[in-house]
Amino acid sequence: MIPIIAEIEQVKQSFIAALDSATTGKELDEIRNAFMSRQGEIARLMALLKTLSLEEKRQAGPVLHELRAYAEAALDKKYQQNEQAGLQALACREQSFDVTALRYHDKRGSLHIYSQIIEKLEDIFISMGYTVVEGPEVETEFYNFDALNIPKNHPARDAHDTFWLTIPSLLLRTHTSAVQIHTLEKREFPLAICAPGRVYRNEATDASHNFMFTQIEGLFIDKNVSMANLIATVQTFLQAVFEKKDLKVRARPSYFPFVEPGIEIDCSCPFCIAGCSICKKTKWIELMGAGLVHPNVLKSCGIDEQVYSGFAFGLGIDRLAMMKYGINDIRLFQSPKIGFLEQF
């Protein structure tokens, strides 16, 4: 036997062995490249054949052509088998996919800390007979300022760095007190509402200031409403918020154009007895602005201020949550940090 025929046989055996062990499309591509390409084994044998004598070509030529035909057919068949096996595996996977299956170790979503706190505050208000209402976040100048006794050029407007819209007189509300006016306009008494929601102020952010934060407003209107009613209501509310029956409140004079008199309400520190880092060793925590609704506010909503009176108070939910949960940066509330969110 001439040597090239033995070499053709060797190539055939190594082709068969490679094909037998191939299980992926990528491996089949590699085999095609190694044996069938222009730089492959069969092309090398073809080149060798050309250098042989006529007699040798006559003997080896058909054997080499037979190897090429065999290799092409075997490779095609294996490609087909491989494709079918892949499709079957896919069909099998799809068939056994159970959308209702319970997966114990998957991460579960939960309500955002904002939602949890707002729900809790709403529950407390509801338990005191209040109704939850909402107002728009895009407000008119009238609801956010004018009707709240803050006319144009009033210095109190400076305290609210406002995001104005390009449409004249429209703005992002700077406080939930704007909801007071929407509710008062309905003139249904007695009136007891709370209004939680996002508010916006165009100010620089730091660990305790954000440009978007959440407030909750309380408003009560009836006949003969007094400061004593306000303080008792706020004390009951805060005792429930901090789950402390002996929590005390105190009032300090303050100024908000829409209440008269205006006060700031502090509560005794619910976290310590002798002073701690949260109350800055003062044993008191500043919590909210409040006061008796200014007669001008009632008048601007068409309410007889000689007959009706009321109180209002508003507090920042972010700062309340920071205190309650020991959060040291207000910006975390709006961050997508999963480690932070997962704690609640």
Q: Tell whether residue 291 is a contact of ligand FA5 (CB under 6 A).
A: yes
In this complex, which beta carbon is closest to ligand FA5, that of residue 30 or of residue 203?
203
Q: Tell whether residue 41 is a contact of ligand FA5 (CB under 6 A).
A: no
State in angstroms the smallest separation of the CB of 101 from ligand FA5: 44
Q: Tell whether residue 144 is a contact of ligand FA5 (CB under 6 A).
A: no
In this complex, which beta carbon is closest to ligand FA5, that of residue 270 or of residue 291?
291
Please provide the DSSP assignment of 98-137 as one string. -TT---TTS------HHHHHHHHHHHHHHHTT-EE----S
Cβ contact 237:125 at 8 Å: yes
Q: Tell whether residue 256 is a contact of ligand FA5 (CB under 6 A).
A: yes
* Dist CA 136 CA 144 (whole Å): 11
Q: Tell whether residue 314 is a contact of ligand FA5 (CB under 6 A).
A: yes
Number of residues that bind ligand FA5 (CB under 6 A): 23
Q: Tell whether residue 149 is a contact of ligand FA5 (CB under 6 A).
A: no
In this complex, which beta carbon is closest to ligand FA5, that of residue 236 or of residue 254?
254
Interactions with ligand FA5, residue window 293-312 (CB under 6 A): 312
Site string for ligand FA5, 234-253 (x = CB under 6 A): --------------------
In this complex, which beta carbon is closest to ligand FA5, that of residue 35 or of residue 213?
213
* Dist CA 67 CA 40 (whole Å): 13
The answer to whether the peptide bond before residue 155 is cis (omega within 30 degrees of 0) is no
Q: Tell whether residue 233 is a contact of ligand FA5 (CB under 6 A).
A: no
Q: Tell whether residue 316 is a contact of ligand FA5 (CB under 6 A).
A: yes
In this complex, which beta carbon is closest to ligand FA5, that of residue 35 or of residue 258?
258
In this complex, which beta carbon is closest to ligand FA5, that of residue 11 or of residue 320?
320
Q: Which of 240, 239, 208, 231 is nearest to 318 (CA)?
A: 208
In this complex, which beta carbon is closest to ligand FA5, that of residue 35 or of residue 256?
256
* Dist CA 195 CA 130 (whole Å): 10
Exposure of 194 by Cβ count < 10 A (0-12 exposed, 13-18 middle, 19+ buried)? buried
Part in contact with ligand FA5 (CB under 6 A); list of ranges 17-25, 72-80, 182-190, 284-292? 284-292
Q: Tell whether residue 313 is a contact of ligand FA5 (CB under 6 A).
A: yes
- Quickly list H helices, the chain: 3-21, 25-36, 41-50, 54-95, 113-127, 141-144, 178-184, 227-241, 295-300, 317-325, 338-341
In this complex, which beta carbon is closest to ligand FA5, that of residue 11 or of residue 177?
177
Query: What token pair was written down for 316?
Result: 């920042």
* Dist CA 322 CA 123 (whole Å): 20
Q: CA dist 234 to 215, 220, 265, 337, Å?
A: 15, 11, 8, 34
294 φ, ψ to 5°? -65, 135
Site string for ligand FA5, 159-188 (x = CB under 6 A): ----------------x-x-----------
Residues binding ligand FA5 (CB under 6 A): 175, 177, 201, 203, 209-210, 213, 215, 217, 256, 259, 288-291, 312-316, 318-319, 330
